[in-house]
Amino acid sequence: MNKMTYIENAEKELLHTYNRFQVVFDHGDGMYLYDTEGKSYLDFAAGIAVSAFGYNNKEYNEALKAQIDKLLHTSNLYYNVPAIHAAERLLKASQMDRVFFTNSGTEAIEGAIKAAKKYAYTRDGEAGHEIIAMEHSFHGRSLGALAVTGNAHYREPFGPMMPGVKFATFNDLESVKAQITDKTCAILFETVQGEGGIYPATKEFMEGVRALCDEHDILLILDEIQCGMGRTGEMFAWQTYGVKPDIMTYAKALGCGVPVGAFLMTEKVAEKSLVPGDHGTTYGGNPFVCAAVDKVLEMMEREQITDHVKEIAVYFEQQLDTLVEKYDFLTERRGVGLMQGLVCEKPVGAVAKEALEKGLIVISAGSNVIRMVPPLIIEKEHVDEMIGKLDEVLSEI
Ligand SMILES: *Cc1c(COP(=O)(O)O)cnc(C)c1O
């Protein structure tokens, strides 16, 4: 079948919840994706910050194939070896004490909300607690995750939302203080806002919120789903600030392409939180996905991926800055490590579309940001190729 036939069929079959780029990918290798017509694309999106090792990594593929032949699934009624290994590595990397594996980021957020509510319920002997979340945040599309997502447009058709959620302004400590009541059980935000437009938390905000939480026995929940797993140059973005959360969510690159997420917590939270009967999942943390998590973490440790990110990010930022200097309509570069955004006064959808034509994959964030979240294995030559292609696109737009 040719590309247009595939796309026509897809538009008849799939629920129209995405305006997709007009491309059908067939396979990938390293930093490149290939479409059904054989055209190659340099990938600066990594399936939305998922494919940290790019594509067709032999060691990763072999680990998954071996697990397929051994055991895919057993349910959480039993223990399984890959989950025990994966949990050990993840707890070490995240400095957390307990983990619950989910199937997605959204479910990690759901679990984190439930864990915080249960903690406060155990402490106070009653329910009805509140959560403070941030404007322009993104935490997922299920009804719980949507209720804490700071985008009224996403929430509106699906109301009424879960009650007890208040929104504050990201990086504005006073606005958070103003929302605290004696019912507040958690403050939730992304350490680096992703979908909202690549806004890193300031150090003052991180430290200020941590102090507020300690003062009022409020739990700090950091959503690291997009910014974690080495992307900022530390395994988790909060480690850059030295401000540790009580509960943390992660998904995206955790399995580098198999559907797996996690919420993690400190022992202090775990002691008063979810117990048998409170939470569950059929697939979550099954042998297959956990074999992927175990292998991904093993490779990241062994290859010292955070050192590579720190090093290449300097060059990446320098080169992006040359574009910001060259084009008046690029007003700012924002980001940390390999999570970067270019604020663009021309339509970013058109930039991404034109880039794709030229064999470069970039995505957007917010309404006016060109977002780049490439595989972590990126080298200088890929930065140079990206700059060359993006420069061409920008000069024509
Ligand atoms: C992607 C994302 C989510 C949702 O994760 P899914 O796996 O799509 O359910 C939640 N929070 C942040 C910060 C994200 O980037």
Range of the domain at 223: 71-302
| 144 within ligand 1 shell (Cβ under 6 A) | no
Q: Whose CA is nearest to atom 7 of ligand 1?
A: 105
Candidate from 195, 199, 249 with most ligand 1 atoms within 8 A of CB, to mutate: 195
Q: What is the DSSP string of 240-261?
A: HHT---SEEEE-GGGTBTBS-E
Alpha helix ranges (H) inside the chain: 3-13, 46-49, 58-70, 81-94, 105-124, 143-147, 152-155, 173-177, 203-216, 238-241, 267-271, 287-302, 305-326, 348-357, 380-396
Type of residue at 91: L
Same domain, 120 and 218: yes
Closest atom, ligand 1, to C-alpha of 142: 9
Residue 211, domain CATH = 3.40.640.10
Same domain, 110 and 218: yes
Which pLDDT band holds residue 1 (cuts at 50, 70, 90)? confident
* Domain stop point among 278, 302, 326: 302
Over the stretch 252-279, which tens digit does the pLDDT of each residue have?
A: 999 999 999 999 999 999 999 999 999 9
Please tell me the distance from the alpha carbon of residue 55 to that of residue 43, in angstroms, as a whole number: 10
Over the stretch 161-203, which tens digit does the pLDDT of each residue have?
A: 999 999 999 999 999 999 999 999 999 999 999 999 999 999 9
| 77: its two tokens | 């009624």
User: 161 CA to middle of ligand 1, Å?
Assistant: 19
Whether residue 158 is contained in a domain is answered as yes
Type of residue at 130: E
* Domain stop point among 252, 274, 302: 302
- Residue whose entry in the numeric block shows the structure tokens 């956990």: 290
Same domain, 52 and 102: no
Over the stretch 344-353, which tens digit does the pLDDT of each residue have?
A: 999 999 999 9
Per the structure, the count of domains in the chain is 2
pLDDT at residue 325 above 90?
A: yes
Same domain, 24 and 170: no
The per-type count for the chain, helices as H runs and strands as E runs, is 15, 17
User: 140 CA to middle of ligand 1, Å?
Assistant: 5
| 149: its two tokens | 């997502």
Which pLDDT band holds residue 337 (cuts at 50, 70, 90)? very high
Please, what is the average pLDDT of the chain?
Answer: 98
CA 281 to chain centre: 21
Which pLDDT band holds residue 47 (cuts at 50, 70, 90)? very high
Q: Whose CA is nearest to atom 5 of ligand 1?
A: 105
* Domain stop point among 272, 302, 332: 302
Candidate from 106, 107, 283 with most ligand 1 atoms within 8 A of CB, to mutate: 106
Mean pLDDT calculated for residue range 371-378: 98
User: 331 CA to middle of ligand 1, Å?
Assistant: 27
| 147: its two tokens | 């209720």
| 364 within ligand 1 shell (Cβ under 6 A) | no
Cβ neighbours around 280 below 10 Å, total: 12
Whether residue 332 is contained in a domain is answered as yes
Whether residue 62 is contained in a domain is answered as no
